[in-house]
């Protein structure tokens, strides 16, 4: 009897949009905050990078921000709070609390089994597999609503999740589904 191994996953990037509900003077921020990257002729936003947690945040004059690079929802909140504190420390008046919304979570996973992509493509609805174009099978899962790139090695990239829990659910569901249709080659 084959023993069932549970797949593993790791969150690689969490992208969040942030609303400050106020206009920001990017020129003033660029002058005051060390390491602020701002070239309005190249890009309309200002970039603030911090090392703990290691993230990059795009800051726009509309008061909107986009934070990337965090490895968890918790890290996003820490990064946004650190950016707001940084702005305040350099005399930039930030009123109220930032509104944070997770837009996308990207994770890598290992199914710990090989995958018969031909069989999976044939039996999985909402999947696309064109090996001449791309070596992985693209599978659009409805619930949770994510896109999975599945490779024959059993490696998977999951994108589109908005909560960490959705990543876990999607990977486990994928594993069970592939096992059920006989597309997993367990060692």
pLDDT tens digits for 91-138?
A: 999 999 999 999 999 999 999 999 999 999 999 999 999 999 999 999
Domain boundaries, the chain: 21-97, 105-185
**Tokens coding 168:** 């876990």
pTM: 0.92
Q: Check residue 149 and give its pLDDT.
A: 98
- Section 168-175 average pLDDT: 98
Name the nearest CA neighbour of 59 among 42, 77, 47, 76.
47
Query: What average pLDDT score do residues 130-150 get?
Result: 97
**At a CB cut-off of 8 Å and minimum separation 6, what does 3 contact?**
none
The reply to whether domains 21-97 and 105-185 share a CATH topology is yes
CATH number for the domain whose boundaries are 21-97: 3.30.310.10
Q: Considering Cα of 138, then 143, then 144, then 145, what sign does the dihedral take?
A: positive
Q: Is the pLDDT of residue 1 over 70?
A: no
The CATH code belonging to domain 105-185 is 3.30.310.10
Point out which residues pair with 48 in neighbouring strands. 57
């Amino acid at each position: 009897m084959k023993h069932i191994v549970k797949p593993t996953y790791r969150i690689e990037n969490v992208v969040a949009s942030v609303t400050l509900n106020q206009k920001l003077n990017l020129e003033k921020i660029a002058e005051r905050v060390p390491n602020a990257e701002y070239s309005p002729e190249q890009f309309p936003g200002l970039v603030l990078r911090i090392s703990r947690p290691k993230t990059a945040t795009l800051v726009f004059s509309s008061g909107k921000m986009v934070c990337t690079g965090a490895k968890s929802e918790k890290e996003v909140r820490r990064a946004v709070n650190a950016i707001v504190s940084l702005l305040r420390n350099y005399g930039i008046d930030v009123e109220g609390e930032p509104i944070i919304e997770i837009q996308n979570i990207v994770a890598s996973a290992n199914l710990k089994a090989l995958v018969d992509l031909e069989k999976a493509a044939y039996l999985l609805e909402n999947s696309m597999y064109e090996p001449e174009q791309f070596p992985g099978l693209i599978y659009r899962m409805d619930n949770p609503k994510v896109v999975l790139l599945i490779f024959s090695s059993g490696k998977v990239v999951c994108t589109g999740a908005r909560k960490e829990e959705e990543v876990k659910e999607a990977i486990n569901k994928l594993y069970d589904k592939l096992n059920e249709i006989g597309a997993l080659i367990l060692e």
